[in-house]
């Protein structure tokens, strides 16, 4: 009687292992697809456009340097502080103390908003991972 019980258990274990083996390739394909989705930026743009697009706009605004203005108040069209003609001095744009504080506050707020948006996206992605 003891051998029939162990034979039944062994057969059940063999059957379960066979089921697991047949399911492994499908599971690996799902994992491979999920990893490719998580590393693909297009996946996030398609899934969360209302979060990603404003975050990208803020990040782009933070990356592009300001346009340098000449002493006449007109934009020179140059995007860096180094003038193309070395014989001319680069004009210095003077700002008030209040404008400096406002600019610093805006930069801090924009960076904070980008950080919060990225944290939100990562939390949403983790929730989606937990569902699978």
The pLDDT assigned to 83 comes to: 46
Q: Cα dihedral sign for 89, 91, 97, 102?
A: negative
> 87: which 2 tokens?
């014989």
What is Dmax (Cα atoms) for the chain?
Answer: 103
Please state, in angstroms and rounded to a whole number, the distance separating the CA atoms of residues 9 and 94: 84
The pLDDT assigned to 2 comes to: 58
Please state, in angstroms and rounded to a whole number, the distance separating the CA atoms of residues 117 and 55: 7
Q: What residue spans define the domains of the chain?
A: 1-39, 43-131
C-alpha separations of 46 from 37, 41, 53, 117 in Å? 11, 9, 10, 16
Determine how many CB atoms are found less than 10 A away from the CB of residue 108. 10
> 119: which 2 tokens?
């944290």
Q: What is the pLDDT along the chain (132 residues), one digit of tens a residue?
A: 557 778 888 899 999 888 887 777 666 778 888 888 888 888 888 888 898 888 888 888 888 777 766 666 565 555 544 445 555 566 666 777 788 888 888 998 889 888 888 888 888 888 876 665
């Amino acid at each position: 009687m003891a051998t029939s019980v162990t034979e039944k258990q062994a057969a059940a274990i063999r059957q379960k292992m066979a089921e697991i083996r047949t399911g492994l390739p499908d599971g690996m394909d799902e994992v491979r697809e999920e990893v490719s989705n998580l590393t693909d930026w297009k996946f996030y743009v398609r899934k969360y456009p209302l979060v990603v697009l404003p975050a990208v706009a803020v990040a782009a605004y933070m990356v592009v340097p300001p346009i340098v203005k000449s002493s006449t108040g007109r934009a020179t069209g140059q995007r860096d502080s180094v003038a193309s003609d070395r014989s001319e001095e680069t004009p210095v744009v003077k700002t008030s103390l209040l404008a400096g504080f406002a600019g610093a506050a805006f930069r801090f707020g924009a960076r904070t908003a980008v950080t919060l948006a990225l944290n939100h996206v990562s939390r949403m992605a983790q929730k989606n991972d937990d569902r699978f």
